[in-house]
Structure 1
């Protein structure tokens, strides 16, 4: 009798366990559950990609800064400059020269289409 009770209880427990396991699996295979699982997986993948993209962007920025520093050193951009060695600044006159023929009195210079000051024009 003890043996029958043991096997009956074991069978009931196994049936309950199997029924629970099958019901959980069926719930996981419903369309709503599958959609929710897919959405969660997509969000997780998106977060992982975003983290990697941020890390990549930071690495690229560090590499750019390092390369700019190397180029600046190679070109001498960061070397101290002695003001005495710099060439003089070019200065341009703001007023036209009044001794040109068009301003001199008695000059035969006439401003017309034949006397163009266009340097690109053939003379």
Structure 2
């Protein structure tokens, strides 16, 4: 009698367990549940991609700053700046040696300002 009760109880427990497992799986396969699972996976993937992209952008920015420093050092851009003004230069457009108004030997061209000279 004990043996029959044991096997009967074991069968009932197995049936309850199997029914619960099948019902749980069926609930997971409903369209709403599948859509929710897909949305959750997409969000997780998006967060993972964003974290990697941010890490990549930070790496690129660090390497860019390091390379700019290397180039600045190689080109001497980081050297102290000379605060003196460069010497003044005469403009080539002003020096017209073929003009009858140009006076030889002067530092800057001198012109006659007689307004009636050309008329």
TM-score bin, normalised by smaller chain = 0.7 to 0.9
The answer (yes or no) to whether the contact 1:27–1:33 under 8 Å persists in 2 is yes
In the alignment, structure 1 residue 42 sits paired with structure 2 residue 52: no
Say if 1:51 and 1:91 are closer, same or farther in 2 by CA, change over 3 A. farther
Per the alignment, residue 118 of structure 2 pairs with 108
Aligned-pair CA distance for 1:104: 1.6
Shift of 1:87: 3.2
Change (3 A) 1:43 1:69: same
Structure of higher RCO (CA pairs closer than 8 Å, 6+ residues apart): 2
User: Offset of 1:79 from its aligned partner?
Assistant: 1.4
Number of aligned positions between the proteins: 102
Query: CA-atom RMSD, angstroms?
Result: 2.3
Q: After superposition, what is the alpha-carbon deviation per residue over 1:56-114, rounded to whole angstroms, capped at 9, x for unaligned?
A: 00000001000000000000011123446x7325588xxxx8835xx4232125xxxxx
Distance 1:89 1:5, change over 3 A: farther
Name the CA distance, whole Å, in 1 between partners of 2:88 and 2:115: 35
- Deviations 1:17-39 (Å, cap 9, x if unpaired)? 00000000000000000000000
For 1:105 and 1:67, the matched residues in 2 are separated by 62
Runs of 4+ with deviation above 3 angstroms: 81-84, 89-92
